[in-house]
Amino acid sequence: MNMSTFIVLAVVIVIAALALKNSIGHFKGEGGCCGGGETILPDHKELDGPKIGEKTVHIEGMHCENCKRRVERAINRIDGAVGKVNLKKKTALVSFDRAVSDEEIRKAVEDLDYKVTGIE
């Protein structure tokens, strides 16, 4: 192996190592995913009245804690609804104290560029 081949190979290895390090951080919520790395806590919200129901929303595209916080905040902005996201199951449990339509929930989540695959 001549010297120029060795240098090119070393540069490729360094680039691959940096890419791997950044990818691991990204999936831990430490990277640029949706503005990851924020220290802003999610808005805590409780229902004003007694809970009359809940829906499970299946969501694709969430990868990190920041994604989770963004979806929870979006659902919590819906009047009469509170959301709790389970990142591993890719779901949000939406509790409500008034009628909340599936379309209202779907719009809140999909406006963030996530995909709602089902609401039950």
Of 90, 112, 92, 88, nearest to 102 by C-alpha is 92
Note the pLDDT tens digit of each residue in 58-95.
999 998 888 999 999 999 999 999 999 999 999 999 99
**Residues 74, 82: Cα–Cα separation, whole Å:** 9
Architecture of domain 53-119: 2-Layer Sandwich (3.30)
pLDDT of residue 32 exceeding 50, the answer is no
Phi, psi of 77 (to 5 degrees): -75, -15
pTM: 0.68
Determine contact, residues 55/91, Cβ cutoff 8 Å: no
Instruction: Identify the pLDDT of residue 48.
Output: 87
**Does residue 18 or residue 80 have the better pLDDT?**
80
Domain ranges of the chain: 3-30, 53-119
Q: Are 93 and 84 in contact (CB under 8 A)?
A: yes
What is the predicted pLDDT for the residue at 35? 54
